[in-house]
Chain A
Amino acid sequence: MTRARTAPLGRRLVPLYAAVFLQNLALWVPIEKLFMTSIGFNAASVGAMAAVYAVVVPMLEVPSGILADRWSRRGVLILASIAGTLSVLVGGSSQNVAVYMVSAAFLGVFFALQSGTLESVVYDTVVEETGASEAFEQTIARVRLVESVALVASALTGGAIAQIATLRATYFLTAPLLLASTVVLLWFREPRLHQVEERQSVRRQVATTYRTILARGRLRAVVALTVVGSVLMQGMLEFGPLWLVALVVPAFLYGPHWAGLTAALGLGGLLGAHAWITRRWAAWLVAAAILACCVVLAVSHHALLVVGVQVALTLLVVAVSIPVLRRLHDAVPSAIRAGVASGVGTLTWLTFVPFALGFGVVSDRAGVDQAGWLLAAIGVVAGLLMVVVLPRAPVPIAQATSPPTPTPVMAPAFPSERFLPSDDPQWPGHWAHPPASWDSAGVGVHNAESLEEARAAIAELPAALRQVMVLHDVEGRAPEEVRRALNLSPDQERAMVHQARSLVRARLEDFFQRTGGSDAR
């Protein structure tokens, strides 16, 4: 990817980076537990609040992703900011547990709307701006860095604000930041790829989205790796501090520990943007390192080592998630992108909740280090999936995994008026206006201009036909391979190849008539 091609991409994404920064500047996060205690939360009601998230987020994830696919990704991100604003306003004014639960529900809406949608908007902007997905890793790594800088900044400033003002002030001061993010998003020019692709009914789109998430084959391993990677990362963020408690670590280490974990979110992204991480040896190395980190957490009682290993584990898991995310998005057509990405988020939740419960039970009974073996088990699964998924080259174009469609009514290869009518007494169905030989048109059929015309003609085909033609004629893949990749029946595949070639032929005929001056009629 050359600088010349990524420069306009960088410029276009500036408002999105700014919006991500503002959305993640959650000043209230460092004092939330303190504030909750001050309005009467106890262990049981904290658990109930976690249940609110566990219900709200997975319920809304896929619907919000489908909304983003059908309506607007930018629109859904703006709705997320508005939900976030409501959350901090209700949270800051709450005097009791019940009202704070409402705030938590709004925060759940914010997470559900934002997750999946943000990655999709980034992926589509990269493809629309550069024509390929190679720059996705670097770009999403920048987004992760922006998020991580915002988290660190809010951890620092939120604490300081609480010192000089009140705990409530940290909530209320977050509201203008979220509102500012809605304004900044209006400056962002949304990619239109998901609207260029053919539109389907809501029912069909929901079916296609779920079918894609749960499809057998390559995508399943990618989805599984995304889920176990997220569980490891969430596990570190949620339970990492428990090790510090168990090891009676001095309080001054809590700050650097948290800063290390949040910084690892951003630095891991930068690491993951490097191409070498998907080499076979690197995949084995990282898989072994992740497993080693989990084992250290299960056996070590050395505070500094545990802190360092937690940061390293988070960093590695985030690094791996970057190329995995590209493989996920590469395999999904734009029209269902946010829905699928959100669906994977739902699977993560559905996996994390039992993991968290199991982790809680084990660490309660046998100690957090024993619960570390649960991490090691997940680390083994993640490692195995990594060596399978990472070294595989990403697919060059999005492959639609839509349910089999009835063979569309295709336009004929040549318009019917070029043939004599079927009731012609002498030659029914024979040529009235036969095509001329292109060789006689005066322009070489195989020269650079003809090639450019063919290129433009293929590039302008409707997305579904272009996919088929690219696989079949440009890349010369076997029909069975094309059918498998695009989930088409033999008849559909053949009809689409025929239709695509016919459209390209018609356009080349126009071109040769214009440039060669040879009239076939």
Chain B
Amino acid sequence: MRDSGSAADDLRCIEFVGAVTDYLEGDVNDEDRRRIDRHLEHCRGCQAALAQFQAVISLAGRLTAVDVTAIDPLIRDRLTTALRRPRRP
């Protein structure tokens, strides 16, 4: 994928995804915001990454605290074991 470069874009994709939460929370300075916006204009990979984070936030916003803590007793045992096991490869 080589769609992310232009003379005005000095931001690497890996930097953007590291700062995506700061960007979404409005916690970047004006200059960084402009750099990111310029980068996003023509980087489809980073556009998709941003959209995925926005989707996560939007899905989380449709849940309630009870949804994610109240777990069916039948599957709870499975979940608590999963919590203690390392995440699947």
Q: Can you list, as one digit per residue, whether each of B51-64 has a CB less than 8 Å from chain A (1) or not (0)?
A: 11101111111111
Q: Can you list, as one digit per residue, whether each of B11-33 has a CB less than 8 Å from chain A (1) or not (0)?
A: 01111011011100101000000
Q: What CA separation (Å) do A128 and B72 show in the bound complex?
A: 10
A432 contacts the other chain (CB 8 A): yes
Q: What CA separation (Å) do A5 and B73 show in the bound complex?
A: 8
Q: Known contacts being A413-B18, A451-B59, A504-B56, is A434 close to B67, with CB within 8 Å? A: no
A462 contacts the other chain (CB 8 A): yes
**Interface contact B52-A505, CB-CB below 8 Å:** yes
Q: What CA separation (Å) do A473 and B67 show in the bound complex?
A: 13
Q: Known contacts being A430-B12, A460-B79, is A437 close to B48, with CB within 8 Å? A: yes
Q: Which of A428, A431, A470 lies at the interface centre, i.e. has the most chain B CB atoms within 10 A of its CB?
A: A431
If over half of A's interface residues share one DSSP class (helix, strand or loop), that class is named, otherwise mixed; here it is helix
Residues of chain B with a CB closer than 8 A to A466's CB:
68-69
**Interface contact A501-B2, CB-CB below 8 Å:** no
Interchain CB contact (< 8 A) of A431 among B13, B52, B58, B76: B13
**Interface contact A427-B5, CB-CB below 8 Å:** yes
Q: Can you list, as one digit per residue, whether each of A244-271 has a CB less than 8 Å from chain B (1) or not (0)?
A: 0000000000000000000000000000
Query: Which range holds the interface residue count of chain A?
Result: 35 or more
**Interface contact B25-A479, CB-CB below 8 Å:** yes
A193 to chain B: closest residue by CB: B80
**Interface contact A505-B56, CB-CB below 8 Å:** yes
**Interface contact A509-B52, CB-CB below 8 Å:** yes
CB distance from A411 to the nearest CB of B (A): 10
Q: Known contacts being A445-B55, A476-B61, A501-B56, is A494 close to B70, with CB within 8 Å? A: no
CB distance from B68 to the nearest CB of A (A): 4
Residues of chain B with a CB closer than 8 A to A215's CB:
none
Residues of chain B with a CB closer than 8 A to A479's CB:
25
**Interface contact B66-A459, CB-CB below 8 Å:** no
Residues of chain A with a CB closer than 8 A to B48's CB:
434-438
Q: Can you list, as one digit per residue, whether each of A214-225 has a CB less than 8 Å from chain B (1) or not (0)?
A: 000000000000
CB distance from B44 to the nearest CB of A (A): 7
**Interface contact B68-A451, CB-CB below 8 Å:** no
**Interface contact B21-A508, CB-CB below 8 Å:** no
Q: Which of A104-112, A129-137, A233-241, A365-373 lies on the face that meets chain B?
A: A129-137
A416 to chain B: closest residue by CB: B14
A71 contacts the other chain (CB 8 A): no
A275 contacts the other chain (CB 8 A): no
